[in-house]
Structure 1
Amino acid sequence: MTIDIAVKTDHLKLIEIWEKSVRATHDFLAEEDLQNLKPLILEHYFDAVDLRCAKDAQGEIQGFCGVLDGNIEMLFISPDARGKGIGAILSAHAIKEQGASKVDVNEQNEQALGFYQHIEFKVIGRSPVDGQGKQYPLLHMVL
């Protein structure tokens, strides 16, 4: 597994991974909200973060992570590649190489919460809404 800087030509593959991953892990997210987020992520959010992708031996992207101001803003793994340590590799890279020490997690996403707790993040606060003002509470976590 290699970690590379994601480039613009990777974005369509990344949004495909994002959507598949969200559908597999964010069952609380309304379809309308997912569809509204998709163009924002593709056209704005990818460009706003230090975006890295994990590639397998064949050069296929298996997951990605975006960091901004020490915060893991996005970490998504292809559902086919989940459980193989890719999230741990990407998050370790984010912490060591990109200076990440914080993350916000949807409270309803118990898998993500458990993952971040496993790698020693602790909950320090809660917001009743997400970054778009939607009724998806966020847990604020730090290392």
Structure 2
Amino acid sequence: MMMKIEQAKKKDHQKLIEIWESSVRATHDFLKESDLQALKPLILNQYFDAVDLKCVRNPDGEIMGFCGVHGDNIEMLFVSPDVRGKGVGSALVHHAIHVQSVKKVDVNEQNEQALGFYQHLGFTVTSRSPLDGQGNPYPILHLVLC
């Protein structure tokens, strides 16, 4: 699949939050609807601006996924459900590793697909936190690139 990784712009944020929501609904079945609705404005109005945000576009210019990096940590990686398994997430992670010097990522413990994905790409679990970043009882696994 042909794709181009580029810096996401403020005008892309609405499309990114749509991808975030559809991706979360497809992969984070442990979240309550109230959790999702509480996170959405935080991501749109705060978290996007707090990371180096890259997106992947197809040849038609449509955004298929995005990755937010802060320091050496992947803070967010979301791929449109209709292109999952087609290399979009892997391309973003490889870019994050080789261009943005990423070495770490945190994953919800209940998101076994994401855990397997990152382990396949060379990350290893090094520790666990019982609460997520918002203080909710969704354990976080901390992974480091080996």
Asked if TM exceeds 0.5, the reply is: yes
Counterpart in 1 of 2:89? Answer: 87
Query: What amino acid maps onto 1:112 in structure 2?
Result: A
In 2, Cα distance between equivalents of 1:34 and 1:27: 10
Counterpart in 2 of 1:123? Answer: 125
In 2, Cα distance between equivalents of 1:100 and 1:132: 23
Offset at residue 11 of structure 1 (A): 0.1
Counterpart in 1 of 2:45? Answer: 43
How many residue pairs get aligned? The number is 143
State how 1:1-143 maps to structure 2 within 5 Å: 1-143=3-145
Offset at residue 45 of structure 1 (A): 0.2
In 1, Cα distance between equivalents of 2:11 and 2:126: 37
Query: What amino acid maps onto 1:122 in structure 2?
Result: T
In 1, Cα distance between equivalents of 2:22 and 2:86: 17
Secondary structure of the structure 1 residue equivalent to 2:134: coil
Secondary structure of the structure 1 residue equivalent to 2:114: helix
Point out 4+ residue stretches in structure 1 off by more than 3 angstroms.
Answer: none
Question: Which runs of 5 or more residues in structure 2 are unaligned?
Answer: none
In 2, Cα distance between equivalents of 1:129 and 1:39: 20
Task: Tell me the C-alpha RMSD between the 2 structures.
Answer: 0.3
In 2, Cα distance between equivalents of 1:6 and 1:29: 26
Query: What amino acid maps onto 1:65 in structure 2?
Result: C
Query: What amino acid maps onto 1:140 in structure 2?
Result: H
Q: Name the % identity.
A: 69
In 2, Cα distance between equivalents of 1:18 and 1:100: 21
Q: Deviations over 1:61-86 (max 9, x none)?
A: 00000000110000000000101000
Offset at residue 99 of structure 1 (A): 1.2
Offset at residue 43 of structure 1 (A): 0.1
Query: What amino acid maps onto 2:138 in structure 1?
Result: Y
